[in-house]
Amino acid sequence: MSGFWEHVWERAAALILITIVSGILLAALGIVTTLAFYSLALLLLVIYQWRQLNRLDRWLQTEESPLPDSFGKWGDVFARLNRLMRDQRQSHQHISSALEHLRRATSAMPEGVIIIDEMDRIEWCNPVAEKHLAINSTLDAGQHITNLVRQTQFAKYLADQDYTEPLVIKQSRHQGLTLSLQFVPYGNKQKLLLTRDVTRFERIQAMRRDFVANVSHELRTPLTVIGGFLETLSDESHSDPETRKWALMLMTDQTMRMQHLVEDLLALSQLEDTENLVRQENVDVPEMLRQLYDEAQSLSAGRHRIKLGIDAAAKLLGNTAELRSAFSNLISNAIRYTTCGGDITLNWTVRDGQGVFSVQDSGIGIEPEHIPRLTERFYRVDRGRSRETGGTGLGLAIVKHVLTCHQARLEISSEPGKGSCFSAWFPPARLIVGKDG
């Protein structure tokens, strides 16, 4: 309010001054000379204003130019504009910095983020979203989202406007990629589309479902056999000793099969327990292999030619029971899948500073496409043959977890009809070399 009255008084003072000067000039020079004087003064004032306007225009057009020197009202105008422009530059820098921080933050997020306008067109997206949906934030800006995500269920999800639960889809442009998509409304009918890679989670869920189904299937058959025979034996009229003996033998076999399955499940559960730390002890591998060799001879019952090669006296730092279980599984698998008269070789050696235990057989071999999945729980190349040989489908899964706990790795090489070789490689840190090891 004080500024307003100050402005009024300035104008009043100027008007009074002009009136006094005009009176003096009229009295001294006459009306004609006075009008000529005022005309010249107005011309000079117009030239001055025009010059100041040009200076202002050049200053506004030239970035980072120095402030023009001036006085009076024009000096005040230049000073005010300079402060406004300086504040605007600072505000612009702050906004640009905040946008850059936001861009970096969204780019670093593990989830994809897409900004969609009120017409469902893409405004911006981060690199993760570009990878998930195979889009380009520059080239695809302004495109309708359904033009790039061409799936009926996605279009329906967008149209229904019920975004409480995410939509899970399989990305057709990336084989095997499963995405979780969810819209988050904000602002004036704008939306964020969040994308997450849930491929691993979906695989875990599928493995869990397969695991439950496989365990149920593996237990159903022996329970059905046992239940059937118990029903038969409970019939008092049935008193054939040979039949009873045969039924009891089969029930015993099926009971042992369930027992082995439960034992393997418990062993695998213990190995997968993250709190289960490997007990550090010196494992005499050569002596363990001599014992396993004797057990293999008994298990084979003369049906195979089994050889034992111990090329190193090195021991291992680890858990004796777990390593024995892993080695035993590899040996029993070789016996199980090698035909009568075949060759099986057990070997312990040191290569490139690493301890290597290998089981080589001349068995049926494995097709290349099956090898990457052999260590999955209950995965079987030939289900019928696996059940005939009495396997639980968990042996190689146990081997993998034991080796992982010991920072070791499993290598598998096989050729159908010519046999397989399973090798466990232990790191130098686990190897104990020397007479007193």
pLDDT band of residue 63 (cuts 50, 70, 90) is low
SS3 content of the chain, % helix, strand, coil (to 5): 55, 20, 25
Residue 89 confidence class, pLDDT cut points 50, 70, 90: confident
Instruction: Round to whole Å and give the CA distance between 315 and 336.
Output: 28
Q: Which residue has the higher pLDDT, 9 or 134?
A: 134
Report the predicted TM-score, pTM, of the whole model to 2 decimal places: 0.51
Structure tokens at 107: 């780019």
CB 87 within 8 A of CB 162: no
Indicate the average pLDDT of the chain.
80
> In the chain, where are the structural domains located?
2-102, 109-197, 206-272, 281-432
* Cα(20)–Cα(63) distance, integer angstroms: 45
394 or 408, which is more confident: 408
- DSSP alpha helices (H): ranges in 273-361? 285-300, 320-336
Q: Which CATH architecture has domain 206-272?
A: Orthogonal Bundle (1.10)
Please tell me the CATH superfamily of domain 281-432, with its number. Histidine kinase-like ATPase, C-terminal domain (3.30.565.10)
272: nearest Cα among 398, 376, 407, 410: 398
Residues whose CB is less than 8 angstroms from the CB of residue 374 and which lie 6 or more positions away in sequence, other chains included? 366, 381, 396, 412
CATH code matching the domain that covers 109-197, chosen among 3.90.1150.10, 3.30.450.20, 3.30.70.20, 3.30.2130.30: 3.30.450.20
